[in-house]
Amino acid sequence: MGTRDLEGKVAVVTGGTSGIGLRSVELFVERGAQVVVGDIAADAGKLLEERFDGKVGFQTTDVTDPEAIESLVALATTRYGKLDVMFNNAGAVGDPSTIAELTADGFDGVVALLARSVFLGHKFAIRTFLAQGTPGTIVSTASVAGLEGGWLPVGYAASKAAVMSIVRQTVAEYGAQGIRSNAIAPGVILTPFVSAALGVPGDYADDFTRYVEDEKVFATLGRPGLPEDVAEVAAFLASDASRFVNGVSLPVDGGATAITHNQFGPALYAAAQRFVESKSGATETTTA
Ligand SMILES: NC(=O)c1ccc[n+]([C@@H]2O[C@H](COP(=O)([O-])OP(=O)(O)OC[C@H]3O[C@@H](n4cnc5c(N)ncnc54)[C@H](O)[C@@H]3O)[C@@H](O)[C@H]2O)c1
């Protein structure tokens, strides 16, 4: 939208080499920020660093490793002098097992990737804000799966609900010091994550995006969600324009959670139609 409302800010973005994270990095830089990106995808990270020459620093980071997150947050200060924005975004679906099949280790693995990483992102960012004496803001990518059942497996869903809880607890513990924390709860956003979750091979990810757009399979807003849709909200929450927004988990789902997946409506209407037809048949018989 042509604004420079992140001018002079220093941000850390995890999972910044693909999908929502990548589009957010592009937007943050476009709006004036310097960005440190952490991701397991080392080659893509190095390319990103070269592409933004000086505006983006990359460090190979596995967010399931606490020391790696601490070191990533520290890089913002050593490289760009401070930290203003922490964007906890890295993630994957994790173990797809149902509740009866999921092992304790499988559950722990997803929680480490999606919830513990967000706790640690908060921990090290808040320590940095307190040490530098200027409050910053934290944005975390949750999911509609943390709001409603049935979107994705239990480890994923429980972890995303935990993200929303960490956000609220941050307000309770640090809000008075001016530190903000908010989450975004995306619906279906066409990224490699969605292709993988649906079993579409990575090579077909772009074709698949075009296919679902052509087929118009999304009822809400008549189109699928795109990384851009979430990145715009991340940029808003990272900026001072959202200065009085704190502790919220904002659905960015085109309205999907507002209509309970729209699953019950059509089934109920069809049943009502069958019911009325059966009664009118009965009425006609009685009248005759
Ligand atoms: N796409 C959707 O429909 C959707 C919906 C709701 C929430 N989300 C969430 O959005 C976030 C971003 O996902 P996306 O859709 O952009 O997917 P994506 O696959 O395009 O990007 C995810 C990024 O995270 C990185 N990553 C994965 N595991 C990592 C690890 N252990 N350490 C560091 N980096 C790691 C990947 O390398 C990749 O760059 C995730 O937290 C995901 O759960 C996505």
Query: What is the edge-to-edge ordering of all strands in the sheet holding 56-60?
Result: 56-60, 34-39, 10-14, 85-88, 137-141, 180-186, 249-252
Atom of ligand 1 at shortest range from CA of 64: 31
Mutate to test the pocket of ligand 1, among 14, 59, 193 (most ligand atoms within 8 A of CB): 193
pLDDT of the residue at 35: 98
Q: Please report whether residue 206 resides in a domain.
A: no
Print the domain residue range for 35.
10-189+225-254
Domain match, 159 and 287 both: no
Q: Where residue 36 sits, what CATH number does that domain have? A: 3.40.50.720
Q: What is the pLDDT of residue 288?
A: 46
Note whether 106 and 163 are same-domain residues: yes
Q: What angle do CA 41, 44, 45 make, to 5 degrees?
A: 80
Q: Count up the domains in the chain and report the number.
A: 2
88 with 34, same domain: the answer is yes
Tell me how far apart the alpha carbons of residues 72 and 39 are, in angstroms, rounded to a whole number: 10
User: Who lines ligand 1 at CB under 6 A?
Assistant: 14-15, 17-21, 39-41, 61-64, 89-92, 113, 141, 143, 186, 188-189, 191-194
Whether 126 maps to a domain, the answer reads yes
**Could you say which of 80, 156, 204, 269 is catalytic?**
156
268 and 248 part of one domain: no
Predicted pLDDT of residue 224: 82
Q: pLDDT in tens for each of the 288 residues of the chain?
A: 559 999 999 999 999 999 999 999 999 999 999 999 999 999 999 999 999 989 999 999 999 999 999 999 999 999 999 999 999 999 999 999 999 999 999 999 999 999 999 999 999 999 999 999 999 999 999 999 999 999 999 999 999 999 999 999 999 999 999 999 999 999 999 898 888 888 888 778 778 878 887 887 776 787 889 999 999 999 999 999 999 999 999 999 999 899 876 566 677 777 788 888 888 876 555 544
**232 and 115 within one domain:** yes
Q: Which atom of ligand 1 is nearest to the CA of 63?
A: 32
Distances (CA, A) of 137 to 16, 31, 78, 191, 236: 18, 16, 19, 25, 11
Q: What are phi and psi of 179, to 5 degrees?
A: -85, 130
Q: Is 156 a catalytic residue?
A: yes
φ, ψ (nearest 5 deg) of residue 161: -65, -35
Question: Closest residue (by CA) to atom 27 of ligand 1?
Answer: 91
202 within some domain: no
- Domain annotation covers residue 53: yes
| Whole-number pLDDT of residue 2 | 58
230 inside domain: yes
Tokens of 87: 């964007």
Distance 282 CA to ligand 1 centre (A): 56
Distance 19 CA to ligand 1 centre (A): 7
Instruction: Examine the domain organization and report whether 270 and 149 are in the same domain.
Output: no
Ligand 1 atom with the shortest distance to the CA of 90 = 24
Residue at 150 is within a domain: yes
Is 119 contained in some domain?
yes
- Same domain, yes or no: 103 and 245: yes
> Do 143 and 281 lie in a common domain?
no
Mutate which of 17, 163, 164, 191 for ligand 1 pocket (most atoms within 8 A of beta carbon): 191
Q: SS3 for the chain, per residue?
A: CCCCCCCCCEEEEECCCCHHHHHHHHHHHHCCCEEEEEECCHHHHHHHHHHCCCCEEEEECCCCCHHHHHHHHHHHHHHHCCCCEEEECCCCCCCCCCCCCCCHHHHHHHHHHHHHHHHHHHHHHHHHHHHHCCCCEEEEECCHHHCCCCCCCHHHHHHHHHHHHHHHHHHHHHHHHCCEEEEEEECCECCHHHHHHCCCCHHHHHHHHHHHHHHCCCCHHHCCECHHHHHHHHHHHHCHHHCCCCCCEEEECCCHHHHHHHCHHHHHHHHHHHHHHHHHHHHHHHHC
In the reported structure, the alpha carbon of residue 257 is separated from the centroid of ligand 1 by a whole-number distance in angstroms of 20
Our mutation pick for probing the ligand 1 site, out of 18, 35, 110, 257, counting the most ligand atoms within 8 A of Cβ, is 18
Domain shared by 283 and 184, yes or no: no
Q: Verify that 142 and 272 share a domain, yes or no.
A: no
Does 56 share its domain with 169?
yes
Q: Taking the model in full, what pTM does it have? A: 0.93
Whether 220 is covered by a domain: the verdict is: no
